[in-house]
Structure 1
Amino acid sequence: MPGEMEIMFSLAGRMHVLLRREINRIIDVEWMCIDAGYAKEVIKLARSAEADELHKLADRIEAVHPLLPRIEFPEEHVPVMVESKYLKTLR
């Protein structure tokens, strides 16, 4: 989808700037958007840095990247008790 790739491209651009600033490493923004293996390695590199902003950005990229597998957590089914205010008729 075009919208997803635009978001991914902007996130990858931000990752490029932060990696350059924090650990003096540069990445290929376009390649990160089209290659899942490269994206995983860049995310691993970002998580190895001691910058909190890079960690948050890595999480966001994992959630948005169309080629990376989604991590799905099972939903806990919590029974909801519904109390009825009116049992027979309205007043």
Structure 2
Amino acid sequence: MQLIQLLSQFPDFILCGDFNASRDRVVFDKIASFYKDNIPAQATTSIDKMLHRAGDLQLFVDGLFLTSHYRIEDVKLHAAPSDYMGIITKVFLQ
């Protein structure tokens, strides 16, 4: 996977955003096999059902991955910035 190859050039990073690949799908699982998925497991969707044209889609297509030089606390999803929920967290350098 080209993304993993590209990321291997950097010792430290935070990778977050919309991957258009939900959990338990090949692309997301491939990234998660290299880097920890930091979105709480109980979060079942990152799509805001009130704003997304398709309504209540139970897909989590956003990711928050980081290298071991960082740690995060208090990951929260915030509705209404767009048709996808915003991810809010505190990031600390280890």
Shorter-chain TM-score category? under 0.3
Higher strand share: 2
Alignment TM-score, normalising by the size of structure 2: 0.23
TM-score by length of 1: 0.23
- Whichever structure has more helix as a proportion of its residues is 1
